[in-house]
Structure 1
Amino acid sequence: MPQPPPAPARAETREALDVNQLTVAYGRSVRALHEVSLRVPAGGIVALLGANGAGKSTLLRAVSGTLPLHQGAVVSGSVGFGSADLTGRSAAQVVAAGVVQVPEGRRVFAELSVEDNLRAGRLGLVRRGRAEARATLDEVYALFPVLAERRRQTAGLMSGGEQQMLAMGRALMARPRLLLLDEPTLGLAPLMVERISETVQEIRRRGTGVLLVEQNAALALELADHAYVLEVGAVRLSGPAAELAASDEVRRLYLGEQGDEPGTEDVPASVPALGRWQR
């Protein structure tokens, strides 16, 4: 994919995300997260891995302020972004603080044009003027040339990969300093997966941090600087992504490979079937 021109320098302060001892429940009895702590350094890429139901999407919802929409609530712990306390804040307040989520399934406005979808990403950002909005739109079009080519097209008629680009572009219209990506390559063809991966790297190069939830564990570990593995709502493993990808335990349990040590072919029955993840 051709490299887009560099984006204009941004004046915003680079901030880290700190999740500390976060416990989340749905209703009175279902605990989805148990004292989870993680950190996304300013401008870094952190991968969040785990089987279905491990709590990955719940964590993103707790950070992005969308948890109440799913009848969930923070029981204890905190979410901080730089000097801002995001714990229990609304989605609009979280976006205003510089954190934006791209949800699983794209969720574009199917009946609107590409450009109208992108402009919707700036709704509520009253502090920013028309000139900056135009400059931001130009940046998004430079990052995703296909969106510029199809700016008048109805979004619902685009392919799945193009809709994923549109969803990411819409989030970038808010000029976030941290982007939360929930399964950005799910269901996409290999060529589109490669393009999305390159885009994630370019987004980081432009100064925006990324918290990446991704079923394709090998891809996520290749993109990320650091990674956390959730199992049943708790952090099971964490460390530099390259070290986790090289470890026998991760290769055996999470990448579907056989370890180098004797006996590693025997996977305990209690371990989720994470070896089914794509590689």
Structure 2
Amino acid sequence: MARSGIEVQRAVIKALFMREIKTRFGKYRLGYLWAVLEPAAHLMVMIGIFGYVMHRTMPDISFPVFLINGIIPFFIFSNITNRCINAIEANQGLFNYRPVKPIDTVIARASLETIIYVIVYLILMSVLGVLGERFAFHNILTLASAWFLLVLFSCGIGLVFMVVSNAFPETEKFLPIATKPLYFISAIMFPLHSVPKEYWHYLTWNPLVHVVELSREAVVDGYISEGISLDYLLTSTLFVFFFGLMAYYNNEKAMLTS
């Protein structure tokens, strides 16, 4: 019995997903533990550097909880977009099989990064809970919605990066660097309300700011961030995602023959 196109694509993505897991973690002695160690080490360094100052600046908020709800969303965005850059090169031989398309590699890589960092987030938040840090998941729907839109937004940027890097291979080194400044303007290290209102428009155009602040609102009691909108996040995400799909659709044949 012939399988439908969706069933074939699902099987392709599953196979690519398993291949990504083996490629990503199979060569390391500590395996999956590295996925937890990277953000945990980053978190500890930031707490060590800024913990005392931020505790005095935000005495009513757990700084580790505040920080992790900024770092993990940014890692999801950064890893998905950066891993899309060389997705074609890493899977070039597989495109000889007609069912395998470049977009399948993006879906597989984005799915893996999302699963990894959701698990890492839950582990680190659990550790913080055991250590006595204060937080409560009082708005799971907002948190899940913000992160789902984050993944779509990241996939949209990732598709654009994949198209650009395939057309201009020399940009492979530049594109990851281009996203680095977002770390400093995405409210990861500071709350939006600490910035004077007249400067908010310089920051709130960035959808990552909305993801980060919505994540904090969902887990920190009394944390309210004016100027943040789930509607804006939805609109900007759909625009970027469909722009990425159009860029991919118009260049798919060129990517398969390059």
Q: Tell me if both proteins adopt one fold, taking TM over 0.5 as the criterion.
A: no
Higher strand share: 1
User: What TM-score results when the alignment is normalised by the length of structure 1?
Assistant: 0.25
| TM-score after normalising by structure 2 | 0.26
Query: Bigger relative contact order, structure 1 or 2, given CA contacts below 8 A and separation 6+?
Result: 2
